[in-house]
Structure 1
Amino acid sequence: MVLRIGDTAPDFEADTTEGLIHFDEWIGNSWAVLFSHPKDFTPVCTTELGYMAKIKPEFEKRNVKIIGISVDPTDSHAKWANDIKETQGYAPNYPMIGDPELKVSKLYGMLPAEAGDRSEGRTPTDNQTVRNVFVIGPDRKIKLILTYPMTTGRNFDEVLRVIDSLQLTANHKVATPVNWKQGDDVIIAGSVSDEDAKKQYPQGWKAPRPYIRIVPQPP
């Protein structure tokens, strides 16, 4: 399956370090970040899991749940958590999905159908495509997909920035420009006519070009 932005996030049941979950039910009315790892006890992912635990409160402020996945079983995840705590200062404080039969990895298009049905014996290189970030909205639609190589750690501060933009633009007819961050000016969406924009922004806007209408970030 090839997933794209706007697709419905596939539902599944899976064992996690916090028990069995039904993904749709687990998300509830929240946003969610699903981030994947090719195998337990891999160095880059160890740093990522620790950092996500550290900044979990930032996701909670935004009504975002976070959940990890690795193809290894949950008892392996529990042992890995000790290493993460000792080396990064934080152990995962969110569920980690065990995917020893590769079902979720295939469902989300991270492994091909012919990858088999067992994680045992597979190397990190075999699973190198399992390094993704999916941001999912309360409507269950996929809002963002990022895929990273094994040698590059993910920037989860950037994921928070994108979530700020996604949540802002979901509630207001605006778009965010390059390198935007919370509090910066925004752009009136192209779907809004000048006539309608004048009603919403009676103070007007800056327009270096007619199609670039800049206003302060809506409250």
Structure 2
Amino acid sequence: MDMYCECPPAMPRIGEEAPDFEAVTTHGVMKLSDYKDKKWVVLFSHPADFTPVCTTEFMALAAADDEFQALNAQLVGLSIDSIHSHLAWVRNIKEKMGVKIPFPVIADLDMHVASLFGMIHPNQSSTAAVRAVFFIDPSMIIRCILYYPLSNGRNIPELIRLLKAFQTSDTHSVATPANWQPGDKVVVPPPKTVEQSEIRDTEGYECKDWYLCFKTI
């Protein structure tokens, strides 16, 4: 007897290439790969248009859009709503709140993109995406995945801080410690050999021990 299991798609993971897609957005049709070798993409989902918490998030993200753009990052929103719903909501936010939404919002009625990125969590809702955030670098590699429940909005300054941390690590081949903010000291990668560990104290870093050293960049 043939056995068949309708298994859910594999969830994307950090370090993997982001699955490409083509979708209708409030700015027209887009492909994720349109941004390859050009920009970071901060892809985020929200549960539904015309909802209170989502509206506050969209206004906060709109206010921060210039900061994301200055970091060579493109915000892209998504929910399981129609393009007509998105357009009406964006117009409503502008008319009622005085805030223009400058980034594209994907219409995902068939849940194709939401399913590709594991944004549907059935114990939260089978018809609405959770508040997911995917940081995708210009090589289309997923660098970070954040999930928030339907009930709680995201902290936008933390998203900006994370993006700056990734870019700092990439540029300087360093790590960032707990609570790092731009301008703070960074963590030097630990030695990989006995010889490297023995000379660590002579390399000019601020060391707490041979494996934990900081420097200013």
Pairwise TM-score range, normalised by the shorter structure: 0.7 to 0.9
Match of 1:148 in 2: 148
Structure 2 unaligned residues grouped into runs of 5+: 1-9
Match of 1:83 in 2: 92
Given the alignment, which residue of 13, 21, 34 partners 2:22?
Answer: 13
What CA RMSD, in Å, does the superposition of the two structures yield over aligned residues? 2.5
Match of 1:118 in 2: none
Q: How does 1:63-212 map to 2 (within 5 A)?
A: 63-111=72-120, 125-190=125-190, 195=196, 204-212=204-212
**Deviation at residue 47 of structure 1 after TM alignment:** 0.6
The sequence identity of aligned pairs, in percent, is 38
Match of 2:43 in 1: 34
The DSSP-based 3-state class of the residue aligned with 1:163 is helix
* Structure 1 Cα separation of the partners of residues 95 and 145 of structure 2: 30
Residue by residue over 1:173-199, the C-alpha shift from the partner in whole angstroms, topping out at 9 and shown as x without a partner, is 211111101110011012666749x79
Contact 1:50 1:85 in 2 (8 A): no
Residue by residue over 1:134-191, the C-alpha shift from the partner in whole angstroms, topping out at 9 and shown as x without a partner, is 0000110001100001111101110110111100101222111111011100110126
**Deviation at residue 91 of structure 1 after TM alignment:** 2.5
* Structure 2 Cα separation of the partners of residues 131 and 64 of structure 1: 19
- Paired amino acid for 1:143: R
* Structure 2 Cα separation of the partners of residues 207 and 163 of structure 1: 26
* Structure 2 Cα separation of the partners of residues 106 and 165 of structure 1: 28
User: Size of the alignment, in residue pairs?
Assistant: 206
| TM-score, normalised relative to structure 2 | 0.86
**Deviation at residue 64 of structure 1 after TM alignment:** 0.4
**Deviation at residue 128 of structure 1 after TM alignment:** 4.8
Contact 1:12 1:23 in 2 (8 A): yes
- Is the alpha carbon distance of 1:87 and 1:176 closer, same or farther for their aligned partners in structure 2, counting shifts above 3 Å? farther
* Structure 1 Cα separation of the partners of residues 95 and 202 of structure 2: 56
| TM-score, normalised relative to structure 1 | 0.85
Structure 1 unaligned residues grouped into runs of 5+: 116-123
Contact 2:205 2:213 in 1 (8 A): yes
Contact 2:191 2:211 in 1 (8 A): no
Residue by residue over 1:45-87, the C-alpha shift from the partner in whole angstroms, topping out at 9 and shown as x without a partner, is 1111111111101001100011100110111101111332245
- Is the alpha carbon distance of 1:67 and 1:127 closer, same or farther for their aligned partners in structure 2, counting shifts above 3 Å? same
- Is the alpha carbon distance of 1:67 and 1:129 closer, same or farther for their aligned partners in structure 2, counting shifts above 3 Å? closer
Match of 1:120 in 2: none
- Paired amino acid for 1:104: V
Q: Which moved more, 1:54-63 or 1:124-133?
A: 124-133
- Is the alpha carbon distance of 1:191 and 1:160 closer, same or farther for their aligned partners in structure 2, counting shifts above 3 Å? farther
